[in-house]
Amino acid sequence: MNENNSGINRRGFLKGSLALGAAVLVNPNSLWAGQAPSMAQYVDLPFERGRRPLVAFPGKRPLMAMTTRPPQLETPFHIFNEDIFTPNDAFFVRWHLANIPRDIDVNTFRLTIRGRVHQSLSLSLEELKTQFEQVEIAAVCQCGGNSRGFFQPRVSGGQWGNGAMGNANWKGVRLRDLLQKAGIEDDAVQIRFDGLDQPVAEATPDFRKSLNLDDAIKKEVLVAHSMNGDPLPMLNGFPLRLVVPGWYATYWVKMLNDIEVLNQADQNFWTTQAYRLPADPCHCLQPGEALTGTIPIGKMTVRSFITNLENDRTIPGGKPCTIKGIAFDQGYGIDRLLLSVDGGQQWQAAQLGKDYGDFSFRPWEAKFIPESGHSYALQSLAINRIGESQRFDARWNPSGYLRNVIETVNIHAT
């Protein structure tokens, strides 16, 4: 965070309401292609009621404020063109319950590991950082409802554009190392995770998520204390967050302070009733069709985005135009990126950029020469290493999950 932002935040601290007035104001028309943000107050997402004011929350630069209580903040899309790793102060924010701790004392904070274990543990941050191997992994964290605002017909829920995702280097300890130290009982089947956030109304179920034991002990699953080399921002789960690479962010429990080993399937609301997909292989329905069986949301679908050109952009014709973007999947890694400039009639291979690991954003780039006076429908199509690709038609489900249709960016050459 630079000095200027600190100043904004300190004024905001002086008087909470002033934080809104103190937002750096950014012109949505200058949000692309590395142009420096200047003066404007909001971004208009391309759907009804898509206006999002740019507001600087604690530890954050001005982001697209979807809701304030509990906080839900979207990353303006141009950020994804600037760095393959999303800066901490630009990383999206999504809380479920408004009763979030106002302060955390790092000296007294403890992470407990209990339940079906030989020996319960209560670990300080210092112990976590010194008594266990420290591991770092690049991984995409994406909300299950990312891009929900684009569903047609529209569905209820948080109306995100495409910015409820981010890529970071997460550092911490392996969950399995902690479980091994506690010693899990033979009858353990699931691990349940709870954070310090609490409901406002007494009858609201506390936010907790569970993973099957087999998934929880994968080597990439971390209890992370750092993000891109710095402590986690409060709004992204300081001091500890579960990191489940390849899985949707709902499992990445923030302000993690309790790990419970269960000997039966978790029956809590957030696992059995919330974040559910239609059970069929497509995880989709026809709009209006009755929902029958459901399964919990799990791993992420294959996606890709063009990051350096926004829709309806005008570019100079007759000279090479570079198209840049990102792709990711659930952790098989990206094998190929195909690009079309004619709305999907013909595809050419794009050049994949540096590989930061199977769970990271993968940069890609392609060039073409637009003809003056022509319009082009740019599309990118990612295929992962087991041959899964993005969908050609947008799947629909009533909760607005798993969008991974091929996206289109229309540009015009002068």
Q: What is the contact surface with other proteins in residues (CB under 8 A)?
A: 1, 6, 9-10, 12-21, 23, 41-42, 47-49, 51, 53, 55, 57-60, 65-71, 97-107, 154, 156, 158-159, 198-205, 231, 233-235, 238-239, 269, 273-274
Q: Between β-strands 313-315 and 408-413, what pairing exists: parallel, antiparallel or unpaired?
A: parallel
Provide, rounded to whole angstroms, the least separation between the CB of residue 234 and other proteins.
Answer: 4
In Å, how far are 5, 6, 232 from 10, measured between CA atoms? 9, 6, 19
Q: Which is nearer to other proteins, 92 or 361 (CB)?
A: 92
Sequence-distant (6+) residues with CB within 8 A of 49 are 159
Q: Which is nearer to other proteins, 81 or 250 (CB)?
A: 250
Displacement of CA 79 from its chain's centroid (Å): 13
Identify which of 373, 376, 334, 338 has the alpha carbon closest to the alpha carbon of residue 357: 334
CA distance 277 to 284: 8
Q: Which is nearer to other proteins, 27 or 41 (CB)?
A: 41
Q: Which is nearer to other proteins, 37 or 70 (CB)?
A: 70
Provide, rounded to whole angstroms, the least separation between the CB of residue 196 and other proteins.
Answer: 11
Provide, rounded to whole angstroms, the least separation between the CB of residue 15 and other proteins.
Answer: 8
Provide, rounded to whole angstroms, the least separation between the CB of residue 231 and other proteins.
Answer: 5
Q: Which is nearer to other proteins, 152 or 345 (CB)?
A: 152
Coil/strand/helix, residue 18? helix
Provide, rounded to whole angstroms, the least separation between the CB of residue 41 and other proteins.
Answer: 5
Provide, rounded to whole angstroms, the least separation between the CB of residue 374 and other proteins.
Answer: 34
Provide, rounded to whole angstroms, the least separation between the CB of residue 247 and other proteins.
Answer: 23
Q: Which is nearer to other proteins, 51 or 374 (CB)?
A: 51
Cis peptide before 370 (omega within 30 of 0): no
> At CA 86, angle to CA 80 and CA 89, rounded to 5?
120
Rg over alpha carbons for the chain, rounded to the nearest Å, is 22
Residue pair 250/401 in contact by the 8 Å Cβ criterion? no
CA distance 414 to 357: 39
Q: Which is nearer to other proteins, 47 or 332 (CB)?
A: 47
Provide, rounded to whole angstroms, the least separation between the CB of residue 159 and other proteins.
Answer: 5
Identify which of 254, 296, 240, 261 has the alpha carbon closest to the alpha carbon of residue 176: 261
Q: Which is nearer to other proteins, 60 or 116 (CB)?
A: 60
Residue pair 256/101 in contact by the 8 Å Cβ criterion? no
Residue pair 339/378 in contact by the 8 Å Cβ criterion? yes
Structure-block tokens of residue 30: 């200058």
Q: Which residues pair with 383 in a beta bridge?
A: 336, 389
